[in-house]
């Protein structure tokens, strides 16, 4: 069984008496431990696909099994629980909470999951150490460089130990050396077993993954190494 199994997933919006299609007949398996890149022109459906995979969108047709759970059968509460258990997210523009300090940003997802305070403190300290941002822990996101903010965002995404990490253009807003740092981190997390799906416009970074999926007008164009 694959971690992700999409079967004939389709998404469309009503448009002027007809429909505009966003995802067309997407059938895709991603096994545990894979690192997959999703590429394609603007409007091809990359973010839409990531939103389906991340359980952020439930307005689609077809079947999606995540770690053996049929997502389309879940109610909103069950979907949220599954999302919190299994999935971490990284975004192009970090999406940190600006009025929380770095350590508080890391702590928050653990609070949502009712992790006891002592364990929360230990996990936050571990990640600050591992990502070499201990010195930044009492700063606010606005006091960090873009690359540092993305480091914090990756730390926040993985502090809950998700099986699946979804990254929407994680290096899109970064200078090349900062982008390299983030890519190295993704590789390290993947080597430790985390399944990663990244949307990227950066061809060299895309090809560092084990597989590149190309979308065009909502269709999967090719799935090759
Ligand atoms: N609410 C909506 N109503 C109609 N069409 C929509 C709606 N939301 C998204 N779309 C369309 O879905 C298509 C896919 O959008 P999506 O954001 O997934 O593309 P993308 O490949 O991520 O693009 P980009 O690289 O520019 O981020 C686009 O053509 C977009 O216009």
State which ligand 1 atom lies nearest to the alpha carbon of 201: 25
Phi-psi region of 55 (alpha: psi -120 to 50; beta: other; left: phi over 0): left
Q: Does residue 222 register a pLDDT over 70?
A: no
State pLDDT tens for residues 1-54.
Answer: 899 999 999 999 998 889 999 999 999 999 999 999 999 999 999 999 999 999
State pLDDT tens for residues 141-165.
Answer: 999 999 999 999 999 999 999 999 9
φ, ψ dihedrals at 121, nearest 5°: -60, -40
Q: What is the mean pLDDT of the chain?
A: 95
Predicted pLDDT at 88: 97
Q: Does residue 223 register a pLDDT over 80?
A: no
What is the C-alpha to C-alpha distance for residues 88 and 109, in angstroms, rounded to an integer?
10
Work out how many domains the chain is built from and give that number. 1
DSSP string, 82-148: HHHHHEEEEETT----TTS-HHHHHHHHHHHTT--HHHHHHHHHHHHHHTT-GGGTTS-GGGS-HHH
The CA distances from residue 81 to 54, 161, 194, in Å, are 12, 14, 19
Q: Look up the ipTM and state it.
A: 0.94
* Ligand 1 touching residue 42 (CB < 6 A): yes
What is the C-alpha to C-alpha distance for residues 183 and 209, in angstroms, rounded to an integer?
10
* Ligand 1 touching residue 45 (CB < 6 A): yes
Q: Does residue 85 register a pLDDT over 90?
A: yes
Task: Return the residue whose CA atom lies nearest to atom 1 of ligand 1.
Answer: 13
Task: Return the residue whose CA atom lies nearest to atom 18 of ligand 1.
Answer: 45
* Ligand 1 touching residue 170 (CB < 6 A): no
Longest CA span, the chain: 57
Tell which residue, 68, 65, 39, has the closest CA to residue 52.
Answer: 65
Compute the Cα dihedral for 101, 102, 103, 108 and give only its sign.
positive
State which ligand 1 atom lies nearest to the alpha carbon of 45: 18
Q: Please name the helix (run of DSSP H) or strand (run of DSSP E) that holds residue 6, with its range, or none.
A: strand 4-15
Q: Which of 101-105, 161-165, 175-179, 204-208 has the lowest mean pLDDT?
A: 175-179
**In terms of residue numbers, what domain contains 215?**
4-224
The domain that holds 99 is classified in CATH as 3.40.50.300
């Amino acid at each position: 069984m694959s971690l992700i199994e999409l079967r004939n997933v389709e998404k469309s919006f009503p448009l002027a008496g007809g429909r505009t299609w966003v995802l067309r007949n997407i059938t895709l398996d991603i096994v545990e431990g894979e690192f997959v890149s999703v590429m394609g022109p603007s409007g091809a459906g990359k973010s839409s696909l990531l939103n389906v995979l991340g359980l952020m969108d439930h307005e689609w047709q077809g079947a999606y099994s995540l770690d053996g759970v049929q997502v389309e059968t879940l109610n909103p509460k069950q979907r949220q629980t599954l999302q919190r258990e299994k999935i971490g997210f990284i975004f192009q523009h970090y999406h940190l909470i600006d009025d929380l300090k770095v350590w508080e940003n890391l702590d928050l997802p653990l609070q949502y999951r009712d992790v006891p305070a002592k364990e929360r403190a230990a996990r936050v300290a571990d990640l600050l150490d591992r990502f070499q941002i201990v010195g930044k822990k009492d700063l606010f996101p606005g006091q960090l460089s873009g690359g540092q903010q993305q480091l914090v965002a990756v730390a926040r995404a993985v502090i809950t130990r998700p099986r699946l990490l979804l990254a929407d253009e994680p290096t899109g807003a970064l200078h090349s050396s900062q982008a390299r740092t983030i890519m190295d981190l993704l590789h390290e997390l993947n080597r430790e077993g985390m399944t990663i799906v990244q949307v990227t416009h950066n061809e060299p970074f895309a090809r560092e993954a084990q597989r590149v999926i190309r979308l065009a007008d909502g269709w999967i164009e090719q799935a090759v190494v």
